[in-house]
Amino acid sequence: MQYNKDAMSVPSSCDEVTVTLKHAGEMDISAMGHNWVLADSDAYQDIATAGMGEGLENNYLPQDDERIIAHTDVVGGGEESSVTFSTEGLEDRDLTFFCTFPGHYSAMNGSFTVTKED
Protein backbone atom coordinates (compact mmCIF):
# COMPACT_ATOMS: atom_id res chain seq x y z
CA MET A 1 0.00 0.00 0.00
CA GLN A 2 2.25 2.75 -1.33
CA TYR A 3 2.92 4.92 -4.35
CA ASN A 4 6.01 4.14 -6.39
CA LYS A 5 7.27 7.68 -5.68
CA ASP A 6 7.54 9.63 -2.45
CA ALA A 7 8.35 12.89 -4.22
CA MET A 8 7.37 14.47 -7.52
CA SER A 9 8.79 17.60 -9.12
CA VAL A 10 8.11 19.61 -12.26
CA PRO A 11 9.82 22.75 -13.55
CA SER A 12 7.88 26.00 -13.46
CA SER A 13 8.18 26.17 -17.28
CA CYS A 14 5.52 23.45 -17.46
CA ASP A 15 2.17 25.22 -17.70
CA GLU A 16 0.25 22.06 -16.90
CA VAL A 17 0.94 18.56 -15.67
CA THR A 18 -0.80 15.25 -16.23
CA VAL A 19 -0.53 12.60 -13.52
CA THR A 20 -1.66 9.06 -14.30
CA LEU A 21 -2.33 6.73 -11.40
CA LYS A 22 -2.04 3.02 -12.25
CA HIS A 23 -3.20 0.58 -9.58
CA ALA A 24 -0.66 -2.24 -9.81
CA GLY A 25 -2.55 -4.49 -7.40
CA GLU A 26 -5.38 -6.89 -8.05
CA MET A 27 -7.88 -6.10 -5.30
CA ASP A 28 -11.32 -4.70 -6.02
CA ILE A 29 -11.90 -0.95 -5.77
CA SER A 30 -14.16 -1.33 -2.73
CA ALA A 31 -11.56 -3.32 -0.79
CA MET A 32 -8.32 -1.56 -1.78
CA GLY A 33 -9.01 1.45 -3.98
CA HIS A 34 -6.52 4.27 -4.45
CA ASN A 35 -6.58 7.80 -5.77
CA TRP A 36 -4.09 10.66 -6.15
CA VAL A 37 -4.97 13.99 -4.58
CA LEU A 38 -2.91 17.19 -4.42
CA ALA A 39 -3.27 19.90 -1.78
CA ASP A 40 -1.23 22.22 0.39
CA SER A 41 0.64 20.19 3.00
CA ASP A 42 -1.09 21.89 5.92
CA ALA A 43 -4.52 20.80 4.61
CA TYR A 44 -3.96 17.25 3.38
CA GLN A 45 -4.77 15.40 6.61
CA ASP A 46 -7.98 17.41 7.11
CA ILE A 47 -9.05 16.71 3.53
CA ALA A 48 -8.30 12.98 3.86
CA THR A 49 -10.20 12.58 7.13
CA ALA A 50 -13.15 14.63 5.86
CA GLY A 51 -13.25 12.51 2.72
CA MET A 52 -13.59 9.21 4.58
CA GLY A 53 -17.28 9.84 5.18
CA GLU A 54 -18.00 10.85 1.60
CA GLY A 55 -17.95 7.32 0.20
CA LEU A 56 -16.57 5.72 -2.91
CA GLU A 57 -19.20 7.41 -5.12
CA ASN A 58 -17.54 10.75 -4.21
CA ASN A 59 -13.98 9.38 -4.50
CA TYR A 60 -13.61 9.73 -0.71
CA LEU A 61 -13.25 13.49 -1.16
CA PRO A 62 -15.13 16.31 0.55
CA GLN A 63 -17.28 17.81 -2.19
CA ASP A 64 -16.52 21.33 -3.47
CA ASP A 65 -13.47 21.65 -1.21
CA GLU A 66 -11.42 24.47 -2.72
CA ARG A 67 -8.30 23.24 -0.93
CA ILE A 68 -8.08 20.32 -3.39
CA ILE A 69 -5.84 21.38 -6.26
CA ALA A 70 -6.24 18.22 -8.35
CA HIS A 71 -7.37 14.61 -7.99
CA THR A 72 -7.92 11.40 -9.88
CA ASP A 73 -10.86 9.06 -9.45
CA VAL A 74 -10.48 6.14 -7.07
CA VAL A 75 -9.35 3.05 -9.00
CA GLY A 76 -9.17 -0.66 -8.21
CA GLY A 77 -6.64 -3.29 -9.18
CA GLY A 78 -5.52 -3.07 -12.80
CA GLU A 79 -7.30 0.25 -13.40
CA GLU A 80 -5.94 3.73 -14.01
CA SER A 81 -7.09 7.34 -13.85
CA SER A 82 -5.46 10.61 -14.95
CA VAL A 83 -5.76 14.25 -14.00
CA THR A 84 -4.37 17.30 -15.78
CA PHE A 85 -3.94 20.54 -13.86
CA SER A 86 -2.31 23.95 -14.17
CA THR A 87 0.93 24.71 -12.32
CA GLU A 88 0.09 28.41 -12.14
CA GLY A 89 0.52 29.68 -8.60
CA LEU A 90 2.05 26.42 -7.31
CA GLU A 91 5.70 27.47 -7.35
CA ASP A 92 7.22 27.79 -3.86
CA ARG A 93 4.19 26.17 -2.18
CA ASP A 94 4.51 23.27 0.25
CA LEU A 95 2.37 20.62 -1.49
CA THR A 96 1.52 17.02 -0.67
CA PHE A 97 0.00 14.29 -2.82
CA PHE A 98 -1.94 11.56 -1.02
CA CYS A 99 -4.62 8.86 -1.22
CA THR A 100 -7.98 9.51 0.45
CA PHE A 101 -9.22 5.91 0.53
CA PRO A 102 -10.03 5.38 4.23
CA GLY A 103 -6.88 4.80 6.26
CA HIS A 104 -4.43 5.24 3.39
CA TYR A 105 -3.28 8.86 3.65
CA SER A 106 -0.78 8.25 6.47
CA ALA A 107 1.20 5.73 4.39
CA MET A 108 0.38 6.92 0.87
CA ASN A 109 1.68 10.47 0.58
CA GLY A 110 4.60 12.42 -0.78
CA SER A 111 5.84 15.87 -1.66
CA PHE A 112 5.02 17.70 -4.89
CA THR A 113 7.22 20.60 -5.95
CA VAL A 114 7.07 23.11 -8.78
CA THR A 115 10.67 24.24 -9.10
CA LYS A 116 11.98 27.51 -10.43
CA GLU A 117 14.36 27.07 -13.32
CA ASP A 118 17.71 28.84 -13.34
pLDDT digits (tens, 9 = 90+) for 44-87: 999 999 999 999 999 999 999 999 999 999 999 999 999 999 99
- Per domain, the residue ranges of the chain are 7-115
Instruction: Compute the chain's Rg from CA coordinates.
Output: 14
DSSP state for residue 75 in the 8-state scheme:
B
Q: Against a cut of 0.85, is the pTM above it? A: yes
7-115 belongs to which homologous superfamily? Cupredoxins -  blue copper proteins (2.60.40.420)
Half-sphere exposure of 57 (CA within 13 A, CB side): 0
Report d(CA 13, CA 20) in Å as an integer: 20
Q: pLDDT (tens digit, 9 = 90+) per residue, 23-40? A: 999 999 999 999 999 999
